[in-house]
Amino acid sequence: MISLRAIFLKLCAVTLFLVMASLIKASSETVPPGQAVFFRSFFAFPILIGWLAWRGDLRTGFKARRPSAHIIRGLVGTGAMATSFAGLGLLPLPEVTAIRFASPLFVVVFAAVLLGETVRLFRSTAVLVGFAGVIIVMYPRLSGGAAFAMEGAALGAILCLIGAALAALAHVQIRNMTKTEKTSAIVFWFTITSMTLSLLTIPFGWAMPSWQVATMLICAGLCGGAGQIFMTTAYSKADVSLLAPFDYASIVMAMVVGYFVFAEVPTGNMIVGAIIVTSAGGAIIWRERQLAMRPPSPAP
């Protein structure tokens, strides 16, 4: 049975994350990525603590059975956040969103390499097609002859792709960690780690934000924390294969926000590439759902 509540929560999460990204982008001219990571983590923390307390998971949130796994997850996740935030300052919002859709493709690759999962022809083909779409999105930024290429756009595209790869690696780590760690502990210690790591960037030049920029950063943190809660709750009420396709609603939202807020007009490459990437990701999700619905093979 389709859980309409779970779908609603997932769409709320997608919307909140897009608002967060928009606020980070709007403040990127005056605030470096490391400082944005700090605001994102620090102001999400009270919301997460309140949520864990409401669920009765606050005590378990402090318990880490594998501290080293939490540290590695924190390093990778913080790197994904920082590179994505840096990319937001260099690329239009729709392009950042489209490139980040490479993350599910990287998940398939990392799951095969690190977890030993079997990747058959269908998923392998979908991954290759998806990466072709990513290349289409990125190509104008990486080709120096593009007339509309912005200064630093090539770096922005590369940073966004690195961020997508690191986010996928974090996802695979979480999949492995859930065998021994509580979800509350994973969320709690990631927030602590990202907040701590962001403080290490102070020597590289933090800025004193105006009250307008500070307000945007605070709201970005609140949206990020609330979005994380909505996302976690949604996945606790419905299968991943049902909810994952609704991530792609963010590309439409990103184009609308990019056009009306940042005066960013989607390019042909971005639209074509995004369609290819989302189609490939959707095919992978559909295949996973089909396999999950198959009855188990009878024992010999």
- How far apart CA 109 and CA 116 sit, in angstroms, is 10
Give the integer Cα–Cα distance in Å for 43 and 117: 37
| Tokens at 74, concatenated | 């924190």
The total of other beta-carbon atoms located within 10 Å of residue 42's CB is 18
* 139-197 pLDDT per residue, tens: 888 876 544 444 578 889 999 999 999 998 998 888 888 888 888 888 889 999 999 99
What was the pLDDT predicted at 172? 87
How many whole angstroms from its chain centre is CA 4? 23
116: left (phi > 0), else alpha (psi -120 to 50), else beta?
left
Residues of the chain short of pLDDT 70, as ranges, are 1-2, 144-151, 240-241, 289, 291-300
Q: What is the pLDDT at residue 295?
A: 54
**C-alpha dihedral sign at 249, 283, 225, 158:** negative
Q: What is the pLDDT of residue 297?
A: 44
How far apart (Å, rounded) are the C-alpha atoms in residues 33 and 80? Answer: 11
DSSP 117: -
